[in-house]
């Protein structure tokens, strides 16, 4: 990995002027998963409201970390086709094995086999892995070629485009008032220090000005690098953009910068934006003077009881500070019309539940109690005001020492403001390299959806599942090398067969692992499917 580190450091040194021109070098293969860093599903964010439908597409941001190509890629995967291979019985597999004349559920013949449809048990056309392969790439069966599945099935890839090099994350926001599944993707990109944005339609088709441009997103879909045209403060996006989150409607987007004490604010409207930018996000403000190396960021949901003057809050974690900062979003008045938005620090929470507490990475919120409360209120204002005081679970992946930090917001609410700073009460020991935290749902042994907090440990190749109800870690998922990004896909439409799956991007060997999260199966907590051919980094060959 030393060669990879040198390449990354070289790019970091040149990032203010871009590592290289996107037109130079070898075009990235659009069908290949290559150092995936960000995953997103095309459903509304469950922090703000109950989710009642299943996602239809998985979006993958690939980073080109080793500089083999002149850019990264963003891909769209059809989840109906991916999940269509999951089965409980042979009857579930009718017509799901491509050109094969017969199709069986592998786990029906062998309880230890993966629960997916194949032409012959245990793995059909995909073959079984050699025992030596299982150490680095878990899962009994061989990989699935996403574009040309070995059994002759339909391509899992819907669309793909070229983006800049060194993307770091990916989020999706649904377009307000538009058909389900229509929205935008946002990805911070280190190579040219910009925010890339792409429109997506309900069929998973990507649009970023790539037509007639060799499938490369055009300059209009890169924001933050034009201080003269983009904002009235003359600001350019600082170097090393890293973490990202946004409000529910995607109007306000915040980005952390991993080498400076700065957080940037982008503003735009997803619907009915009549500005000269035609709906493009624009850099609005850069908050400076924060502790160095901000990494994780999460938007705190706006209570339904809030009025028009409510100031949206975000929580930020740092590698070099044992604290969590709360930033609030507001507008300035009396100087510019229309008023410009800006951020301001509105408090800090100290981390004191482990020995040191600094080097915090990912942060996530469990909002399920508040969301469920608000869903039962209708338009009753008194009821909604009561729900606004419900505390939110706060979870942080911390590396000094390696722990999951567990807390709740110390919520003080009124209609115009709040204090959602967390108070940490406990920590859970983890293995080396905690990096990201995701709150999602599994299917429990009784067939009901149950909340879990998943912590990805990059270095030790583990994902821990923490059960907030019991207060203990009840799952350890062994992954391949370099697990990085994770999204959870749990069945809310009661399909046949029902499913709960996790998709984990393996950064080191460049593939997506599919995790079974249904406790009724023997394969619960294991990787049952690999999308894309795992490939060792070039430095190790």
Give residue-wise pLDDT tens across range 27-67: 999 999 999 999 999 999 999 989 889 999 999 999 999 98
Which residues is 172 bridged to in the sheet?
A: 185
Q: CA 325 to CA 497: how far, in whole Å?
A: 43
Examine residue 320 and state whether it is found in any structural domain, yes or no: no
Q: CA 41 to CA 490: how far, in whole Å?
A: 11
Give the dihedral sign, CA 326/259/38/359.
negative
Residues in the chain: 541
Examine residue 146 and state whether it is found in any structural domain, yes or no: yes
**295-319: average pLDDT:** 93
- pLDDT at residue 413 tops 50: yes
Examine residue 524 and state whether it is found in any structural domain, yes or no: yes
- pLDDT at residue 85 tops 70: yes
Which residues, 6+ apart, have CB-to-CB distance to 338 below 8 Å? none
Number of domains in the chain: 1
Question: How many C-beta neighbours within 10 Å does residue 514 have?
Answer: 24
Of residues 384, 416, 413, 412, the one with CA closest to residue 310: 416
Which residues, 6+ apart, have CB-to-CB distance to 70 below 8 Å? 20, 21, 22, 23, 24, 25, 26, 27, 28, 64, 165
- Degrees (nearest 5) of the Cα angle 202, 207, 209? 165
pLDDT band at 96 (very low <50, low <70, confident <90, very high): confident
Mapping DSSP onto H, E and C, the string for 134-185 reads HCCCCCCECCECCCCCCCCCCCCEEEEEEECCCECCCEEEECCCCCCCCEEE
Examine residue 374 and state whether it is found in any structural domain, yes or no: no
Examine residue 44 and state whether it is found in any structural domain, yes or no: yes
Examine residue 356 and state whether it is found in any structural domain, yes or no: no
Q: What percentage of the chain has pLDDT greater than the value 70?
A: 90
Which residues is 323 bridged to in the sheet?
A: 350
Examine residue 388 and state whether it is found in any structural domain, yes or no: no
Specify whether the CB–CB gap between 254 and 246 falls below 8 A: yes
pTM score: 0.92
**87-94: average pLDDT:** 86
pLDDT band at 275 (very low <50, low <70, confident <90, very high): very low
Mean pLDDT for the chain overall: 89
Peptide bond before 122: cis, by omega within 30 degrees of 0?
yes
Domain coverage including residue 84: 2-23+32-290+430-540
Examine residue 209 and state whether it is found in any structural domain, yes or no: yes
Beta strands 206-207 and 194-200, pairing class: antiparallel
Specify whether the CB–CB gap between 332 and 376 falls below 8 A: no
Mapping DSSP onto H, E and C, the string for 400-461 reads CCEEEEEEEECCEECCCCEECCEEEEEEEECCCCEEEEEEEEEECCCCCEEEEEEEEECCCC
> Which long-range CB contacts under 8 A does 378-381 form with residues at least 24 apart?
381/305
């Amino acid at each position: 990995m030393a060669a990879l580190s040198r390449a990354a450091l070289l790019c970091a040194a040149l990032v203010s002027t871009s590592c290289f021109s996107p037109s130079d070098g070898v075009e990235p293969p659009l069908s290949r998963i290559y150092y995936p860093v960000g995953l997103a599903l095309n459903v509304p964010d469950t922090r703000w409201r109950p989710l009642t439908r299943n996602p239809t597409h998985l979006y993958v941001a690939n980073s080109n970390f080793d500089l083999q190509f002149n850019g990264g890629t963003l891909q769209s995967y059809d989840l109906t086709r991916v999940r269509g291979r999951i089965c409980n019985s042979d009857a579930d597999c009718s017509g799901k094995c491509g050109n094969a004349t017969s199709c069986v559920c592998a786990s029906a013949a062998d309880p230890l086999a993966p629960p997916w449809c194949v032409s012959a048990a245990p793995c059909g056309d995909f073959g079984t892995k050699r025992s030596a392969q299982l150490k680095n790439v878990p899962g009994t069966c061989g990989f699935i070629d996403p574009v040309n599945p070995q059994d002759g099935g339909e391509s899992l890839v819907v669309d793909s485009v070229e983006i800049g090099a060194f993307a770091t994350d990916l989020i999706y926001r649904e377009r307000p008032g538009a058909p389900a599944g229509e929205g935008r993707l946002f990805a911070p990109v280190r190579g040219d220090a910009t925010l890339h944005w792409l429109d997506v339609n309900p069929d998973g088709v990507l649009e970023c000005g790539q037509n007639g441009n060799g499938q490369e997103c055009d300059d209009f879909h890169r924001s933050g690098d034009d201080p003269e045209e983009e904002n009235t403060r003359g600001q350019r996006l600082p170097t090393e953009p890293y973490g990202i989150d946004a409000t529910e409607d995607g109007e306000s987007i915040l980005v952390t910068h991993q080498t400076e004490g700065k957080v940037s604010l982008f503003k735009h409207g997803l619907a009915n934006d009549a500005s000269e930018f035609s709906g493009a996000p624009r850099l609005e403000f850069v908050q400076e003077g924060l502790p160095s190396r901000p990494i994780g960021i999460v938007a705190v949901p706006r209570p339904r009881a809030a009025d028009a003057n409510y100031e949206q809050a975000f929580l930020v974690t740092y590698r070099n500070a044992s604290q969590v900062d709360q930033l609030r979003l507001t507008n300035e008045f009396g100087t510019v019309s229309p008023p410009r938005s800006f951020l301001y620090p509105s408090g800090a929470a100290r981390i004191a539940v482990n020995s040191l507490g600094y080097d915090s990475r990912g942060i996530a919120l469990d909002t399920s109690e508040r969301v469920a409360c608000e869903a039962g209120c209708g338009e009753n204002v008194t009821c909604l005001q009561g729900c606004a005081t419900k505390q939110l679970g706060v979870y942080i992946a911390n590396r000094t020492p390696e722990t999951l930090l567990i807390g709740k917001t110390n919520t003080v609410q009124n209609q115009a403001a709040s204090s959602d700073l967390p108070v940490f009460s406990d920590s859970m020991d983890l293995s080396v390299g905690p990096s990201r935290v995701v709150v999602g749902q599994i299917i429990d042994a009784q067939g009901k959806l149950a909340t879990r907090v998943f912590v990805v440990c990059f270095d030790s190749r583990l994902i821990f599942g923490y059960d907030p109800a019991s207060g203990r870690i009840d799952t350890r998922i062994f992954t391949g090398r370099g697990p990085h990004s994770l999204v959870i896909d749990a069945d809310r439409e009661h399909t046949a067969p029902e499913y709960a799956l996790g998709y984990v991007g393996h950064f080191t060997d460049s593939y997506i692992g599919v995790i079974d999260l249904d406790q009724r199966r023997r394969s619960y907590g294991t990787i049952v499917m690999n999308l894309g051919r795992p490939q060792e980094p070039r430095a190790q060959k």
